[in-house]
Structure 1
Amino acid sequence: MKLIAELLIGFVALEHLYILWLEMFAWTTQGKKTFKSFPPDLFEKTKSLAANQGLYNGFLAAGLVWSLLIEDAAWRINVAYFFLGCVIVAGLFGALTAQRSIFFVQALPAILALLALAFA
């Protein structure tokens, strides 16, 4: 179960690195293909806002990667719980305020990782 938890944490971290790239560096290109319900004329206007969001996603990814590298078991678990909790809260908030699919893309993988970690 520990390996499954680590794989899920790694998946969530990779997902947030992808979101970082999308929002910081590809907002006006790949972003248009990904967020089809967003008005096309707003991508250029919201480029700096998206980059700011991407930076926060990078911090989440960094924390999750850090949790995988910590040798002390108690610290590793606590840091993973914290960052997974942040992802879950962000995913729930996004699902409630922006788009329901955010729950499935962001919050659900983090919930599964948290449960796997709890049972590891």
Structure 2
Amino acid sequence: MISNVFVAIVALEHVYILVLEMFLWTSPRAMRAFGTDKLFAEQTRSLAANQGLYNGFLAAGLVWGLLHPNDGTGDQIQLFFLCCVLAAAIYGGLSAKRSILIIQGLPALAALLLLLLT
């Protein structure tokens, strides 16, 4: 049960990122969160929306795993999508902002470890 809570938190985090990247990219909140300015945000709006969509796919996969009627299959789906989130966090943390490792990577790692321990 605790692993499901952590997986749900990771899914919600990615829905939030989807909203920031797809709909609020040029807002002060998103620019503050991603360390951008108005000019950069305007120039990269479509790229950010594309990134947001991918974050939505990660969230959808995690929710699919949580809601799957077969617990074993649901756990495997969660495992796959948590590994995807973790890989994305590691790449983002090494190539863009180190804080991504903490903000996205740490919750995903915690959920992954809890899932593997259950």
TM-score by length of 2: 0.96
Query: Which stretches in structure 2 are left out of the alignment for 5+ residues?
Result: none
Which residue pairs with 2:15 in the alignment?
17
What's the CA shift for 1:40?
Answer: 3.3
One-letter amino acid of the counterpart of residue 8, structure 2: G
Distance 2:81 2:19 in 1: 19
Which residue pairs with 1:88 in the alignment?
86
One-letter amino acid of the counterpart of residue 80, structure 2: F
Distance 1:99 1:82 in 2: 24
TM-score by length of 1: 0.94
Distance 1:86 1:10 in 2: 15
**SS where residue 73 of structure 2 aligns?**
helix
What's the CA shift for 1:39?
Answer: 3.7
How many residues are aligned here? 117
Query: Which stretches in structure 1 are left out of the alignment for 5+ residues?
Result: none
Distance 2:48 2:90 in 1: 19
Distance 2:22 2:115 in 1: 30
Which residue pairs with 1:77 in the alignment?
75
Q: Tell me if 1:52 matches 2:50.
A: yes
Which residue pairs with 1:35 in the alignment?
34
**SS where residue 38 of structure 2 aligns?**
coil
Distance 1:28 1:67 in 2: 32
Distance 2:26 2:7 in 1: 29
Which residue pairs with 2:103 in the alignment?
105
* Amino-acid identity (%): 50
Distance 1:4 1:33 in 2: 32
